[in-house]
Amino acid sequence: MKFGNRLKYILFSVVYWLLACHCYIILRFIGIDGDAAGKIDYGEIFFLATFDSIVIGFLFGVFTSSSLSLKLKRRAFFSTVLINTVIYVCFFGAVIFGSSLVGNTLAFAIQYSLSSASLVTLFYLSVCSLLYHFILQMNKKFGPGVLFEYIIGKYFNPKEEKRVFMFLDLTASTTIAESLDTLLYSQFLQSCYIELTEPISAFSAHVYQFVGDEVVVTWKVNKDFDYGQCVNFYFAFANALLRKKDYFLETFGVQPLFKAGIHSGTVVAAEVGELKTEIAYHGDVVNTASRIQGLCNQHSQQLLISESIFNPIAGNKKFALGLIGDVQLKGKYQSLKVYSVQLKGA
């Protein structure tokens, strides 16, 4: 996973456990009478709570963003949340037992771990762990950062954004679908899409839509945006599929290959729907990217890009760029320069 993405997971984890820990302390000491309150060093308690929650949040953030955690997440939503919550609860239980054992007998540690105060603390941490993993899984289902945008209503009113769109389409999909039964073809696509995980994390991409055997990937463009990462994303995905060649041939009898088209420009982003909502992107940019991808078979190319992508990456020595020509796309009055992209030395 890219360092920037891992840092976001870690920061979220630290902030979450800071809030959870301090909320518990506030709830724990509300209503204590004056005599008891006078014996409590609140400064020391809050200092220790802050230190412990930062350490715990950091460790959990590192674990969440690790490759091990990504493998654990390849399960059904409920089982993923439950398994991770159980792991965290066991961790907290071990911490409570271990801390009570320091300077005390084993019998005391066992008795304290089973006391009402300890069990209440463990129950609170269990609820926090459950909510923590629920949020992480919802973030995964919506796409990184999208859940937060829903919560704050960022796209409740339409907004203009500059974005890159890539349309990925399975080559010879009709032939493959006819050679496999419906269930096996669905498993085939599922196996292909699993290989998107690492490239998406590595190149800060966001899956906009899965439409049958087609995937729409997007990036939000800012002043420091590196257009080369979009091209690198495609080749990283292609290499990931190639590394699983033996698996695909043994399981499905076919090696998947995806063709792609990339285009960028200004779109309107808006939250649409009522019973089922999603953030949709409207504009000519999306249609143009789709039609560029549709030219791949015609020109026997795996990756085609528009001039809006070509210009920023023209000086990149990793790519071999070739002009296809001024192409008249369906539904457009003006022609568009389209280029092929390959990795040099490939």
Q: Tens-digit pLDDT profile for the chain (346 aa)?
A: 566 667 878 888 999 999 998 888 887 766 555 554 455 556 777 788 788 889 888 988 888 776 444 554 556 777 888 888 898 889 988 988 888 888 888 888 888 888 888 898 899 999 999 999 888 887 777 666 676 776 777 777 888 999 999 999 999 999 999 999 999 999 999 999 999 988 988 888 999 999 889 999 999 998 889 999 999 999 999 999 999 999 999 999 999 999 999 999 999 998 887 767 778 899 999 999 999 999 999 999 999 999 999 999 998 889 999 999 988 787 777 788 999 999 986 6
Q: Are 199 and 297 in contact (CB under 8 A)?
A: no
Q: Are 97 and 33 in contact (CB under 8 A)?
A: no
* Residue 115: per-residue pLDDT: 87
Per-domain residue ranges for the chain?
3-142, 154-343
Tokens of 37: 């309150």
CA distance 337 to 92: 59
Q: Are 93 and 85 in contact (CB under 8 A)?
A: no
Q: Are 306 and 288 in contact (CB under 8 A)?
A: yes
Residue 333: CA atoms inside 13 Å, Cβ hemisphere, count? 0
CA distance 120 to 222: 47
Residue-wise DSSP of 156-225: SS-EEEEEEEEEEEETTHHHHHHHS-HHHHHHHHHHHHHTTHHHHHHTT-EEEEEETTEEEEEEE--TT-
Query: Which residues on neighbouring strands pair with residue 73, listed in sequence order?
Result: none
The CATH class given to the 154-343 domain equals alpha beta
CA distance 52 to 91: 14
Number of H helices, E strands in the chain: 15, 8
Torsion of CA 283, 284, 285, 290, to 10 degrees: 120
